[in-house]
Chain A
């Protein structure tokens, strides 16, 4: 499938398919001319996008630029109106979200979407759903392998929550009762529990103070170093974006207007006009 994607891509960009092939091995996610149209509104307009393996990539842009829509297409919540998306050597265009998750992509949400009446631990256990096998009848009979799996899943949930820094006393608290910061932690743990290769974070530092943001930035580096994760970030906090990203993609009105390392993007005239200049006053 990557071959086809690479071929399509090379057809568009004029680069030979051979170099596209080599690229595919080092590229974990590849979006080719992806568009999303809601009624008459073009939310995302022909965006080409790539994430190199083990990199941290950010998407920025003013509100309504189509960032979250783009995210939702990558994770399967929206079907792209046009274009193709390849992930880890497979075409995942318009696949179901749960299939995409089982292939190794996990996400968090801009407005935290935990299962409010489940405990922190249960939330993270649901995160492992795609990695579990227990079926209906095996669960009713609680076969030894089901019992074993439950134990492992519980243990892994505990470890993951510890890894993201949730206090052990909060493991059995309902998610709804947790503080905002802890809810963010649990949400990241829930995503990590599905053993992703690519982690998508939608405005993870929203509502955090500078210290917390800095800690999260460090944590992203740690994730890449210790778990070999690739991270895609939507973020408004420029300090976080510029500090952590290898590459930055800028969307405005659904179009990609710039792409490059943080310094290049910062210097880009269109970006300054569309976004940084106005909003950040730099």
Chain B
């Protein structure tokens, strides 16, 4: 295992040393392969289904990576943004608010919704609204944590995630805008959700997963692009400075509040977008989707891949997603029965993730494809967490 770890480390370094054009060429080739991948499978194949989910998780992991990996703010309530994104499409892309406009429905740029009751926005609008709502929620969750550090941030964000879930469960009895307009439909779930409907393309079909796959892939590319751009910018440097030493960062002119809130908002926006996509893809928004364990699941992806490392996070998200959706339920599920134990492996999946993380912490704490900086931090023990700053918002 340690030799395998060494190989991985070598791979990362070797890619970094390659000349620029070669890297671009490899990247382009991989991208073409990814685009063509669905043609190798049936339009409704289970594998493409897993791929779509994995890509949506990559978007979430990249979002959480901005908060936890870049800015160093441990967020255990990321599922809240999944929920907010999902409910945005529940509200603005389904028949949920059937009473709106006297039952005639409210349609914005959504021809395929015909004359259905409820609010039906075009998916692109929903995506933007989901990003904005989630970003606002991200800032709201960020505010009380500004005076906190380390573990305490984790506790507050965890609570925020749970509060969101409880709201989702009890939302059927919450009517902020009159009795015909509840907040959610609780465990019963809002369904059906409008499938994605893009201009110039016919509405996505639940039985042909290829367009879903391409859309998810496009989302990943956009989010990757934003991640790279931000990492190498004034803001990205400020995030890393903040993670390294808050006192020094503030003294060098980095405004703590603004910089942290931007991290929370950006990270949350990606969670919201992915949430809206997943809700449309799964065709339901159900309060039970927003368990605390999902926050941990996404966090495990970025820790497995390498906190702060963009490619590491992509790898971690794809790996955990496939372990979750394929390896455990399909490939290994029967193993306990074969050795005479009477349970399915899926019942243990979170135990398996935990075990994987423990193994990682022992063998390779910096993750599969570590960020250059983290590697130094963990291997040479630099960086500390002294408290001097009198925190104030």
Q: Residues of A at under 8 Å CB distance from B?
A: 72, 75-79, 96-99, 101-102, 106-107, 109, 113-118, 122, 125-132, 134-136, 139-142, 146, 149-150, 153, 174, 176-177, 190-191, 194
Contacts and interface: CB of A to CB of B under 8 A. Distances in A.
A228 to B, nearest CB: 20
B324 interface: no
Nearest 8 A/B pairs, CB to CB:
A130-B253, A117-B373, A139-B233, A101-B253, A176-B382, A113-B248, A115-B244, A97-B250
Given A129-B234, A136-B230, 13 more contacts: A77-B250, A77-B251, A98-B250, A99-B255, A101-B252, A115-B245, A115-B248, A116-B376, A116-B382, A126-B237, A129-B241, A139-B230, A139-B235
Interface string B289-303: 000000000000000
B200 interface: no
B253 A134 contact: no
B245 A113 contact: yes
A129 B237 CA distance: 9
Interface of B: 225-226, 229-230, 233-238, 240-241, 244-245, 247-256, 262, 266, 372-374, 376-377, 380, 382-383, 388-390, 392
A48 to B, nearest CB: 23
Given A77-B388, A139-B229, A139-B230, A117 B253 contact: no
Contacts of B390: 77-79
A126 B376 contact: no
A90 B380 CA distance: 44
Contacts of B237: 118, 122, 125-126, 129
A206 to B, nearest CB: 17
Nearest to A101: B253
Given A129-B253, A140-B226, A115 B241 contact: yes
A101 B383 contact: no
- Chain A CB within 10 Å — which of B248, B252, B376, B377 has the most? B252
Nearest to A190: B252
Contacts, number: 131
B391 to A, nearest CB: 10
A134 B235 contact: yes
14 contacts: A77-B247, A102-B253, A106-B251, A113-B247, A116-B377, A117-B376, A117-B377, A122-B240, A129-B241, A130-B254, A134-B234, A139-B234, A139-B235, A176-B376
Given A77-B250, A116-B383, A146-B233, A98 B244 contact: no
Given A79-B390, A118-B244, A126 B374 contact: no
Contacts of B389: 77, 97
A194 B252 contact: yes
Contact of A72 (B225, B236, B388): B388
B70 to A, nearest CB: 12
Contact of B241 (A96, A126, A136): A126
A174 B244 CA distance: 13
B256 A98 contact: yes
Given A130-B253, A136-B262, A139-B230, A176 B235 contact: no
Contacts of A139: 229-230, 233-236
A146 B390 CA distance: 33
B230 A140 contact: yes
B226 A129 contact: no
Main secondary structure of the interface of B (DSSP, over half): helix
Contacts of A109: 247-248, 251
Given A117-B377, A117-B383, A176-B376, A126 B247 contact: no
Contacts of B229: 139-142
Contacts of A126: 237-238, 241, 249, 252, 254
Contacts of B250: 76-77, 96-98
Nearest to A131: B253
A117 B252 contact: no
A127 B235 contact: no
A78 B247 CA distance: 11
B254 A129 contact: yes
Contacts of B252: 98, 101, 106, 126-127, 129-130, 190-191, 194
A174 B255 contact: no
Nearest to B244: A115
B16 to A, nearest CB: 13
A170 to B, nearest CB: 15
Nearest to B380: A176
A176 B382 CA distance: 7
A53 B380 CA distance: 43
Contacts of A76: 250-251
Given A77-B389, A139-B230, A139-B235, A115 B240 contact: yes
A194 B253 CA distance: 8
Contacts of A106: 251-252
Contacts of A191: 252
B226 to A, nearest CB: 5
A139 B230 CA distance: 6
Nearest to B393: A96
